[in-house]
Amino acid sequence: MNFEYFIARRLTSGRKNNLSKPVVRISTISIALGLALMIISVAVVIGFKKSVSEKVMGFATHIQLVLFDNNQGMQGKPIMLTDELESQLLLNKKISYVQVVGQKAGVIKTEDQIQGVILKGVDSNYDNSFLLRNLVAGTFPNFSDSAKTDQILISNILSKKLNLSIGDFARMWFIDEGESRARGRKFTVSGIYNTGMEEIDNVYIIGDLNHIQKLNNWKTNEVGSIEIILNDISNIRNTAFELYNTIPYNISAVNVYDEYPQIFNWLNLLDMNVIVILTLLIIVATITMISTLLILIIERTSMVGLLKALGSNNSSIRKIFLYKASGIILKGMIWGNFIGLLFYFVQLKFHLIKLSAESYYVDYVPVELHVTDFLLLNLGTFVVSVLVLIIPTFYITRIVPAKALRYE
């Protein structure tokens, strides 16, 4: 057995009144709680960013092609969906799905309420998987390319504000520039959705694209915007730039980050919060370990003097205390991993900790932890702790055997 390791295993054994024993327990607890909190922090931030991003991208998609217009396709001039443009998009290997939509601002009125909204028109090829996941009542409207439908999908917030339920009728009014009279359309509520995002739920009603085309006097191949879903969401900005350089000169490619900058800038700030939390936790844990190691060395001063008298060099004695400190760190990390992973799996399955959806866009704390992040946290904690502990071991070089053997 390694000499230094053999001695290190017996450093805190022996007398029951050793000061180092409770100090070692405190250090183990400190390492365990620090690593557990680091795992929890990283898991919560990754899960939260992913949940909110998926909601925004699920509704707005990854990239939108719109005309160079101040309204970005709200009520501006339409895009002509030519066979050439459609073929170009469908043949792009980075693109997973292409769909067309149109938007028109209006006012929805009931007997005692009035609300400004945006009617988002979609067709039968629209990818409704996101809205189906967030459907809380009724059914998704049945859109057809051949016939116009009056069914609409409204949010849970709007249904409460306007006191509308499944099967109720709602009249929406539209006014275009240059027109003196408003044009009305009567719709039937077929379903109610709830994304938890006020930017969407307070504004959007999902309806038939044929209504938008009719109201704006567009042709069947004219749409407000073309929405694009990518295979790889990690490369949205670069793909949008590439599309911009290949599509017709009068069309712009707007990525979801530029469309909702306030949300994604807020999410990016969370990364800095995590860095601060991890730094503080590592500092606290390393300070505790430095104090523990110094106490171990001071308490075993006579042992150090005896080993030096018997011929051991400073490097060998320092290894003894580093072995002991490493054992304390590893024991704390085992408990820290257990606590952190226990919280992760319980929260992942049961969603015990809730949030206010109005403030955080989700109604519970989402968690997600990647294997690489987990391993990096453990490796980083161990390496930083051991490297920092090399500093207090230099105290051993100042111990003189003649004086140390008289130390009690």
Q: What is the pLDDT of residues 328-344, one digit of tens each?
A: 999 999 999 999 999 99
Banded pLDDT at 12 (limits 50, 70, 90): low
pLDDT exceeds cutoff 80 at 18 = no
Determine the pLDDT at residue 344.
Answer: 97
Determine the pLDDT at residue 142.
Answer: 92
Determine the pLDDT at residue 278.
Answer: 92
Mean pLDDT of all residues in 88-100: 95
Does residue 62 form part of some domain? no
* Among candidate residues 249, 278, 302, the one where a domain is terminated: 249
Does residue 255 form part of some domain? no
pLDDT exceeds cutoff 70 at 19 = no
Mean pLDDT of all residues in 351-355: 93
78 contacts 218 by C-beta, under 8 angstroms: yes
Q: Distance between alpha carbon 347 and the CA centroid of its chain, in Å?
A: 15
Does residue 201 form part of some domain? yes
Of 280, 84, 93, 118, nearest to 207 by C-alpha is 118
Mean pLDDT of all residues in 253-276: 93
Q: Are both 210 and 307 inside the same structural domain?
A: no
Q: Are both 160 and 222 inside the same structural domain?
A: yes
Q: Are both 51 and 83 inside the same structural domain?
A: no
Pairing of strands 151-155, 169-174: unpaired
Low-confidence winner among 37-51, 87-101, 281-295 (lowest mean pLDDT)? 281-295
Mean pLDDT of all residues in 12-28: 73
32 contacts 333 by C-beta, under 8 angstroms: yes
Q: Are both 80 and 215 inside the same structural domain?
A: yes
Low-confidence winner among 120-124, 194-198, 308-312, 318-322 (lowest mean pLDDT)? 308-312
Determine the pLDDT at residue 407.
Answer: 54
Query: How far from 252 is each of 4, 63, 242, 330, CA to CA, in Å?
Result: 68, 10, 11, 55
Determine the pLDDT at residue 73.
Answer: 43
Q: Are both 97 and 220 inside the same structural domain?
A: yes
* Among candidate residues 197, 217, 249, the one where a domain is terminated: 249
Determine the pLDDT at residue 368.
Answer: 96
Q: Are both 155 and 46 inside the same structural domain?
A: no
Phi and psi of 82, rounded to 5°? -80, 160
Q: Cα–Cα distance between 159 and 191 in angstroms, integer?
A: 10
Q: Which residues contact 288 (CB under 8 A, 6 or more apart)?
A: 26, 27, 30, 31
Determine the pLDDT at residue 10.
Answer: 76
Q: Are both 242 and 269 inside the same structural domain?
A: no
Q: Which residues contact 5 (CB under 8 A, 6 or more apart)?
A: 323
Please name the helix (run of DSSP H) or strand (run of DSSP E) that holds residue 321, with its range, or none: helix 314-350
Q: Count of domains in the chain? A: 2
Q: Are both 17 and 122 inside the same structural domain?
A: no
Does residue 375 form part of some domain? yes
Q: Cα–Cα distance between 171 and 238 in angstroms, integer?
A: 42
pLDDT exceeds cutoff 80 at 136 = yes
Helix, strand, coil abundance in the chain, percent, nearest 5:
50, 20, 30
Q: Are both 86 and 18 inside the same structural domain?
A: no
Determine the pLDDT at residue 336.
Answer: 97
Mean pLDDT of all residues in 53-58: 94
Banded pLDDT at 175 (limits 50, 70, 90): confident
pLDDT exceeds cutoff 70 at 69 = no
Of 388, 361, 356, 381, nearest to 42 by C-alpha is 381
Q: Cα–Cα distance between 48 and 44 in angstroms, integer?
A: 6
Mean pLDDT of all residues in 254-272: 93
Q: Which amino acid is at 394?
A: F
CA atoms in the 13 A half-sphere facing the CB of 75: 11
Determine the pLDDT at residue 72.
Answer: 47
Q: Are both 288 and 217 inside the same structural domain?
A: no
Q: Are both 270 and 321 inside the same structural domain?
A: yes
Determine the pLDDT at residue 99.
Answer: 96
Which tokens is 44 given? 């919560």
Does residue 218 form part of some domain? yes
Does residue 362 form part of some domain? yes
* Among candidate residues 201, 221, 249, the one where a domain is terminated: 249
* Long-range pairs for 22-25: beta carbons < 8 A, 24 or more residues apart: 23/291, 23/292, 23/295, 23/296, 24/292, 24/296, 24/328
Does residue 380 form part of some domain? yes
Q: Distance between alpha carbon 297 and the CA centroid of its chain, in Å?
A: 45
Determine the pLDDT at residue 254.
Answer: 94
Does residue 258 form part of some domain? no
Banded pLDDT at 259 (limits 50, 70, 90): very high
Structural domain boundaries enclosing 303? 3-55+264-404
- Taking all residues of the chain, what is their mean pLDDT, rounded to a whole number? 89
Q: Are both 158 and 229 inside the same structural domain?
A: yes
Mean pLDDT of all residues in 259-273: 92
103 contacts 213 by C-beta, under 8 angstroms: no
Q: Distance between alpha carbon 257 and the CA centroid of its chain, in Å?
A: 14
Residue for token pair 């709830």? 194
